[in-house]
């Protein structure tokens, strides 16, 4: 019988040996030993303008391209050309952290020989829809990683040595040719070694000799509408630590439609790079005031093959925290080299712990990205408690949040959130499983998801302070209190507590301070009434909708049209070390749906394995260019998973509860009627939350991007007799993705 995490652990023979306690340890890493003051540093933002640099001079650099004309095989074409290096640098994130600065690895713009501007989240690309991008990335990663490299992760046949300086640059949200997708097998090392799918990344006509040693070339068509994307590392076996070390930045696409909304005064804007909104990249990190200064830290242990649960083979490490709080050589400490999930204890926005942002009494647009490893956020706005600017008054709601877009671009219709705020809540049955349909939340943003939000501060009293607050449990949705840090709460496994106005704290993310007009040089006039149009529309549902039309789909209509349907599953197991491991499964069978049986076998399927298979195994999700497909994804685990699709955008059709307790054959038995997508999911997305005990159904249109050169087949797939374009789909909880909740998504060209 298939088992959820809770049931599997409970049923295993290891339960009598204290596995539940050990598993709790695997999730908790509240080890920051420095008390960081909240809301004493301004929010770093894009470029050099009044809102950008904070008191420490920190800001987020924007990359500057040069125009390049390429004599391609189909004729000349013009691109915006960028050149980046991937290298180590040092940056001090907060004055309360010890040492001279933290070590990071990130992207630095060196286009046209410019001096690298090494800043956290640096190298943001602002791209124009319809103008292609060519980018060269030079791997100058250090020979020794700044974070622990786990050679027990699934790297066999890929890079058996687990070398630490491999990179693969993935444009998250990009509709790009597969060889520029930056997939897990498309890595390139500083010394010239490459992954099984690396095809020299040659852009014909741009570099006749292909990529140089230690370099990779990427081509992005940019045939997409306005949206916030991002690019980050995706190298197999290193993704979680490379991204955590700083290998991530933004890629904002703008288009004429968005420009027109700004020019008409429907969307708020700011000078310079903030014309398209203020980015809020939210992450959690842990800092260690030890021999590494103020470096962000990640779990490590010396687990070796054959070390099941006892005895723990454990190397000297600050991360070996057992139930007694003992670190080194604790015989009860769990091997935590590749952990089930990683939840840190300090909230960063744009690389700054607990920042504040001064705002005038007017409308602002925020582009929110959850860039954390595994933590979900239920974002709400509350006024600060009277006499305490650091804690929210949960009885005094802040202004509305009007969501107008997701990672797939503009929504079909604006949505009013924080109207009033909706604290997180959920109902669990007597066995501890989530009761489907009982999750309640405000603006829920999972790892990898984005939200385009407008907030009007014009009705907030002058001098008021507003807290951006989150109350989501971790893991989501069941949670464990050891991962939740708040004022007065216990820190990690110790006995100390978080003091007021300080971290560790995972609930109070940042603060907004409402000041008088012209504080930021935006003038003394109030906003035009047109800036209230979207909020009025979201609240009253009356008026002309200025957002672009987004097509919608119904499952019944799609079935009448005979579209292809697949049944897949999300599963959990243990690896050879006894660590939790996540997998994706394929269900090749007929499914007794609520109306008519639906065939699910796909192109090239070699058989059913609903419990899941490793990434390296033969692909099963093989589509043909031009197809429309419906995927029904059965979540048999105890976690919600943000499933990310490379290449394609999808739309959520419905979520249907099934009998999780008796699930065992790969065929779910529905226990209730389907529900449609949330109002702020009604549009295109590429990262979709999939809850325990539900079948989430999505529709996609499989389309390969048009490029001015011939795209080769994947050599890794060709060795298996499959000739096509290689992408992947996976969970965007980075520890899940890497261990091993990721499978190929192959497209056969026309």
Query: In this model, does residue 297 exceed pLDDT 70?
Result: yes
Q: How far is CA 582 from CA 12, 588, 614, 636, in A?
A: 17, 20, 10, 11
pLDDT band at 747 (very low <50, low <70, confident <90, very high): very high
| Domains along the sequence of the chain with CATH | 346-540 (2.60.40.420)
pLDDT digits (tens, 9 = 90+) for 191-229: 998 999 998 766 766 666 678 899 999 999 999 999 999
Nearby residues of 91 by Cβ (< 8 Å), 6 or more positions away: 58, 101, 102, 104, 118, 119, 120, 351
Nearby residues of 337 by Cβ (< 8 Å), 6 or more positions away: 148, 150, 152, 153, 299, 300, 301, 302, 303
706/661: higher pLDDT: 706
DSSP of 280-324, one letter per residue?
EEEEEE-B--BTTBT-B--------TT--SSS----S-TT---TT
490/178: higher pLDDT: 178
pLDDT value at residue 181: 97
Backbone angles phi, psi at 539, to 5 degrees: -85, -45
pLDDT band at 628 (very low <50, low <70, confident <90, very high): very high
pLDDT digits (tens, 9 = 90+) for 673-718: 999 999 999 999 999 999 999 999 999 999 999 999 889 999 999 9
Closest CA to 373 of 448, 295, 471, 294: 448
Query: In this model, does residue 241 exceed pLDDT 80?
Result: yes
Q: Within a 10 A sphere around the Cβ of 659, how many other Cβ atoms? A: 12
pLDDT value at residue 147: 82
Nearby residues of 544 by Cβ (< 8 Å), 6 or more positions away: none
Average pLDDT over residues 518-522: 85
Q: Mapped to the 3 state alphabet, what secondary structure does 252-279 carry?
A: EEECHHHHHHHHCCCCCCCCHHHHHCEE
CA atoms of 79 and 64, how far apart (whole Å): 13
Residue 645 zone, left/alpha/beta (φ > 0; ψ -120 to 50; rest): beta
pLDDT digits (tens, 9 = 90+) for 5-30: 445 443 443 333 333 333 333 334 55
Cβ proximity of 294 and 102 under 8 Å: yes
> pTM of the full predicted structure?
0.92
pLDDT band at 595 (very low <50, low <70, confident <90, very high): very low
pLDDT averaged over every residue in the chain: 85
pLDDT digits (tens, 9 = 90+) for 322-347: 333 333 344 444 444 577 888 999 99
Query: In this model, does residue 589 exceed pLDDT 90?
Result: no
Query: In this model, does residue 606 exceed pLDDT 50?
Result: no
pLDDT value at residue 28: 41
| 161 CB-contact burial (10 Å; exposed 0-12 / middle 13-18 / buried 19+) | exposed
Residue 162 zone, left/alpha/beta (φ > 0; ψ -120 to 50; rest): left
> Taking the CA atoms of the chain, what radius of gyration do you get in angstroms?
25
pLDDT digits (tens, 9 = 90+) for 386-444: 888 789 999 999 999 999 999 999 999 999 999 999 999 999 998 889 999 999 999 99
pLDDT value at residue 696: 97
The single residue listed with the structure tokens 């999730």 is 27
Query: In this model, does residue 172 exceed pLDDT 80?
Result: yes
Q: Residue count of the chain, please give it.
A: 750
Q: How far is CA 154 from CA 150, 247, 473, 727, in A?
A: 9, 21, 29, 18
37/164: higher pLDDT: 37
Q: What single DSSP character describes residue 383?
A: E
Query: What residues are paired with 233 via a beta bridge?
Result: 169
638/21: higher pLDDT: 638
Q: Within a 10 A sphere around the Cβ of 574, how many other Cβ atoms? A: 16
Q: Within a 10 A sphere around the Cβ of 745, how many other Cβ atoms? A: 24
Q: How far is CA 267 from CA 277, 303, 524, in A?
A: 9, 53, 19
DSSP of 104-158, one letter per residue?
EEEEEE-GGGPPP---TT--BEEEETTS-EEEEEEEE--SS-SS---TTSS-TTT
Cβ proximity of 403 and 490 under 8 Å: no
pLDDT value at residue 130: 97
In this predicted structure, which of 288-297, 401-410, 479-488, 716-725 has the lowest mean pLDDT?
A: 288-297
Order of strands across the sheet that contains 628-635: 609-613, 580-587, 564-574, 628-635, 694-701, 650-657
Query: In this model, does residue 454 exceed pLDDT 80?
Result: yes
The single residue listed with the structure tokens 């070590």 is 103
Q: Within a 10 A sphere around the Cβ of 549, how many other Cβ atoms? A: 8
Query: What residues are paired with 365 via a beta bridge?
Result: 454
pLDDT value at residue 303: 38
Tokens standing for residue 501 = 């106005």
624/303: higher pLDDT: 624
């Amino acid at each position: 019988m298939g088992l959820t995490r809770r049931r599997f652990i409970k049923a295993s023979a290891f339960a009598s040996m204290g596995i539940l306690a050990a598993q709790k340890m695997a999730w908790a890493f509240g080890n920051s030993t420095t008390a960081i003051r909240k809301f004493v540093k301004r929010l770093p933002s894009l470029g050099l303008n009044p809102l950008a640099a904070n008191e420490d001079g920190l800001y987020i650099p924007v990359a500057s391209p040069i125009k390049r004309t390429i004599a391609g095989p189909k004729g000349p074409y013009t691109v915006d050309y960028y050149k980046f290096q991937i290298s180590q640098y040092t940056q001090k994130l907060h004055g309360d952290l010890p040492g001279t600065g933290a070590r990071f690895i990130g992207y630095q713009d060196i286009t046209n020989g410019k001096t690298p501007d090494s800043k956290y989240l640096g190298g943001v690309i602002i791209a124009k829809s319809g103008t292609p991008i060519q980018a060269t990335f030079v791997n100058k990663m250090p020979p020794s990683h700044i974070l622990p490299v786990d050679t027990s992760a699934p790297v066999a046949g890929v890079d058996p040595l687990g070398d630490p300086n491999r990179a693969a640059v993935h444009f998250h949200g990009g509709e790009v040719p597969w060889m520029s997708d930056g997939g897990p097998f498309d890595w390139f090392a500083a010394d010239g070694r490459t992954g099984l799918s690396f095809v020299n990344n040659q852009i014909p006509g741009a570099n006749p000799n292909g990529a140089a040693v230690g370099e990779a070339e990427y081509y992005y068509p940019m045939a997409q509408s306005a949206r916030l994307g991002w690019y980050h590392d995706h190298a197999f076996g290193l993704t979680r630590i490379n991204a955590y070390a700083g290998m991530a930045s933004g890629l904002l696409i703008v288009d004429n439609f968005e420009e027109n909304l700004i020019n008409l005064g429907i969307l708020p804007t700011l000078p310079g790079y903030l014309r398209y909104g203020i980015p809020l990249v939210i992450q959690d990190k842990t800092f260690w005031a030890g021999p590494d200064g103020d470096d962000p830290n990640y779990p490590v242990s010396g687990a070796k093959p054959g070390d099941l649960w006892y005895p723990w083979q454990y190397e000297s490490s600050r991360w070996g925290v057992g139930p007694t709080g003992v670190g080194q050589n604790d015989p009860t400490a769990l091997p935590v080299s590749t952990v089930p999930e990683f939840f840190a204890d300090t909230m960063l926005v744009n690389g700054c712990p607990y920042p504040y942002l001064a705002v005038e009494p007017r409308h602002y647009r925020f582009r929110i990205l959850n860039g954390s490893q595994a933590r979900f956020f239920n974002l709400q706005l509350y006024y600060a408690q009277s006499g305490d600017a650091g804690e929210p008054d949960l009885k005094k709601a802040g202004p509305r949040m009007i969501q107008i877009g997701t990672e797939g671009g503009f929504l079909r219709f604006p949505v009013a959130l924080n109207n009033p705020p909706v604290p997180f809540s959920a109902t669990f049955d007597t066995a501890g499983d989530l009761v489907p349909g009982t999750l309640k939340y405000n603006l829920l943003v999972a790892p990898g998801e984005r939200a385009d939000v407008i907030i009007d501060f014009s009705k907030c009293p002058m001098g008021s302070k507003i807290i951006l607050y989150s109350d989501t449990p971790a893991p989501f949705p069941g949670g464990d209190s050891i991962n939740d840090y708040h004022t007065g709460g216990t820190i990690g496994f110790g006995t100390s507590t978080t003091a007021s106005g300080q971290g560790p704290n995972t609930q109070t993310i940042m603060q907004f301070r409402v000041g008088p007009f012209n504080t930021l040089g935006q003038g003394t006039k109030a906003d035009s009434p047109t800036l209230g149009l979207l909020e009025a529309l979201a609240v009253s549902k009356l008026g002309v909708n200025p957002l672009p039309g987004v097509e919608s789909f119904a499952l019944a209509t799609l079935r009448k049209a005979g579209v292809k349907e697949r049944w897949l599953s999300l599963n959990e197991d243990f690896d050879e070390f006894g660590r939790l491991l996540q997998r994706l499964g394929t269900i090749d069978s007929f499914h007794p749906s609520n109306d008519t049986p639906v065939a699910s076998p796909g192109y090239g399927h070699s058989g059913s394995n609903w419990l899941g298979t490793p990434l390296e195994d033969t692909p099963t999700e093989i589509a043909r260019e031009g197809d429309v497909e419906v995927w029904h994804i059965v979540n048999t685990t105890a976690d919600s998973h943000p499933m990310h699709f490379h290449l394609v955008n999808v739309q959520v059709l419905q979520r249907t509860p099934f009998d999780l307790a008796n699930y065992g054959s790969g065929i779910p038995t529905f226990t209730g009627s389907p529900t449609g997508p949330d109002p702020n999911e009604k549009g295109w997305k590429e990262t979709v939350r999939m809850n325990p005990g539900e079948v989430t159904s999505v529709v996609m249109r499989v389309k390969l991007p048009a490029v001015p050169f011939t795209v080769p087949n994947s050599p890794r797939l060709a060795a298996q007799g499959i000739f096509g374009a290689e992408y992947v789909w996976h969970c965007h909880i980075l520890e899940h993705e890497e261990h091993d909740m990721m499978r190929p998504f192959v497209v056969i060209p026309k």
